[in-house]
Amino acid sequence: MHRRIFAPGALAAASLLLAVPASAAGVTAGAPGIGDPYYPSYGNGGYDVSHYDLRLTYQPKTDELEGTATIEARTTQDLSSFDLDFLLDVSEVRVNGARAGFTTSDQHELVITPKTPLAKGAPVTVVVRYRAVPSTKSAYGFTTWHRTPDGAVAADEPEAAWWWFPSNDHPLDKATYDVSVAVPDGTQVISNGTLQSAASKLGWTRYNWRQNKPQATYLATLAIGRFDITTGTSEGGVPIVNAYSKDLGDNDGAARASVERTGELVDWLSGYFGPYPFSSAGGYVPNTTTGFALETQTRVYYSPRQFASGSNTSVVVHELAHQWYGDAVSLKGWKDIWINEGFARYAQWLWSEHEGEGTTQALADYVYGSHPADDAFWTVKPGDPSPDDQFDAAVYDRGALAIQALRNEIGDDAFFAILKGWPKEHAYGNASVADFRRYAEQVSGKPLSALFDTWLFQPSKPTASAARTASLAPRAKASVQPKSWRKVEATNDVHGG
């Protein structure tokens, strides 16, 4: 089930044609989109953000969020005006200290006109003051701000930032963050990175979180509620901060039995992917009714439903794998989603093999064998799935199958060198599927266009002979379901909204 009422891509493309301002002589408006064909209006053109400083106050009783965002950026062109992506009500905007004009156009475009145009290459400080009830705001017919009985949660992909801070909302523009939120005493605030301090004054406690490594906007998260926070350090030395809503009911034990293994699993994944790329790790389980999990940077979001049928280390492995594949190395465009989901799924397969619940080869054979050639599963191209199928099971399962095919083609030495080398090659940056293919060709010394085309870019089931070439089982193996299968697939409850 798709939670969107209509496709943002199509709608945004239509409204963009109207929104692009005619550029008169000397007038240079920043583009209202960063240029992603899947989501033409997401992100913006003309500047590059280096830091977000969010100083907010939230009242759970009324869902009122108010505060100030200070954005440090640098212009990449002359700018008469520029956009931020945002949905909340703005009371004031300042650019380099001076009050600026602003309007809201389209569904999430805050258009800012500085008093004097900005020159290309100049540092710029943008201050946005705002106040709103985020749950009342929607774009394209949906909201991803979720109220809970004692607070709220912002965690979704690709849209989450609009409901709590103005941003250049696209993974291409990564930045560091300070997130400071005051809440009534007795309520906690969870966000990314490390908790710098928390202090109470006049009935309100302010939590200060810092993310000191570049982070994509959709990986910024905010949760407010009554949480039990646990801390520790992994054997490998990674500081761990986890948080559990005090309102998890029957799911509490299984949630803790899974998420408390974060340190052990981070260390285990480091063996495949290299050193953990951030200064802390952990996860949080709020009392939401949503069904999915999300790799929010350093502090993974888990819905309680992920633990409804018992502990689930597979989903923890998936989200932690994203810290390397997705977070440290982010996609260039949303069509590159396979690099995130294929590898996070493959990490679950490696964990399955480690646990003796089915080898990566058995899982790959099962994916290949259990979907007949006329199954719609094969019509989704993991290498370019379209916005509507961005999180289709095929991106995950066929995506991981493609990785096993790659491994069989190039051999384990090259394959594991790539698994570890890739996060280092592009640490804290962005890369595309084409970049990955070139990197794999360089490390393995083999041409891989045909293999990538067959397994990632054709809207059909690879033939038995292609499967044989990639050392996959040529015949249906649908009857041999690996023991881990259901747990692995349970993390797929991503379409539950």
When binding is defined by CB under 5 A, the residue of 12, 220, 344, 367 that contacts Zn ion is 344
| Distance, CA of 289 to CA of 286 (rounded, Å) | 9
Between 243 and 294, CB nearer to ligand ARG: 294
Angle CA(159)–CA(49)–CA(44) in degrees, nearest 5? 55
* CA-to-CA separations, 246 to 223, 228, 313, in angstroms, rounded: 13, 6, 21
Between 292 and 455, CB nearer to ligand ARG: 292
* CA-to-CA separations, 161 to 42, 87, 168, 170, 298, in angstroms, rounded: 11, 9, 9, 10, 17
The CA R_g of the chain, rounded to the nearest whole Å, is: 23
- Among ligand ARG, Zn ion, none, what does residue 294 contact (CB within 5–8 Å per kind)? ligand ARG
Between 260 and 341, CB nearer to Zn ion: 341
Q: Report the nearest approach of Zn ion to the CB of residue 164 (Å).
A: 22
Between 39 and 292, CB nearer to Zn ion: 292
Instruction: Look up tokens 């509507």; give the residue.
Output: 388
Q: Report the nearest approach of ligand ARG to the CB of residue 483 (Å).
A: 22
Q: Report the nearest approach of Zn ion to the CB of residue 396 (Å).
A: 7
Between 82 and 292, CB nearer to ligand ARG: 292
Instruction: Look up tokens 């569904």; give the residue.
Output: 107
Q: Report the nearest approach of ligand ARG to the CB of residue 356 (Å).
A: 24
Residues that bind ligand ARG (CB under 6 A): 156-157, 292-295, 318-319, 391, 494-495
Check residue 339 and give left, alpha or beta (phi > 0: left; psi -120 to 50: alpha): alpha
First to last CA, the chain: 8
- Among Zn ion, ligand ARG, none, what does residue 327 contact (CB within 5–8 Å per kind)? none
**Which region among 112-120, 338-346, 410-418, 443-451 touches Zn ion (by CB under 5 A)?**
338-346
Strands across the sheet containing 90-95: 98-99, 90-95, 123-132, 64-75, 47-59, 175-184, 204-215, 194-201
By beta-carbon distance, which residue lies closest to ligand ARG? 494
Q: Report the nearest approach of ligand ARG to the CB of residue 294 (Å).
A: 5
Residues numbered 12 to 71 that lie near Zn ion (CB under 5 A) are none
Q: Report the nearest approach of Zn ion to the CB of residue 392 (Å).
A: 12
Residues 30, 84: contact at Cβ < 8 Å? no
Q: Report the nearest approach of ligand ARG to the CB of residue 41 (Å).
A: 19
Between 146 and 477, CB nearer to ligand ARG: 146
- Among ligand ARG, Zn ion, none, what does residue 19 contact (CB within 5–8 Å per kind)? none
Check residue 428 and give left, alpha or beta (phi > 0: left; psi -120 to 50: alpha): left
Pairing of strands 64-75, 47-59: antiparallel
Between 110 and 293, CB nearer to ligand ARG: 293
> Given the rule CB under 5 A, which residues bind Zn ion?
341, 344
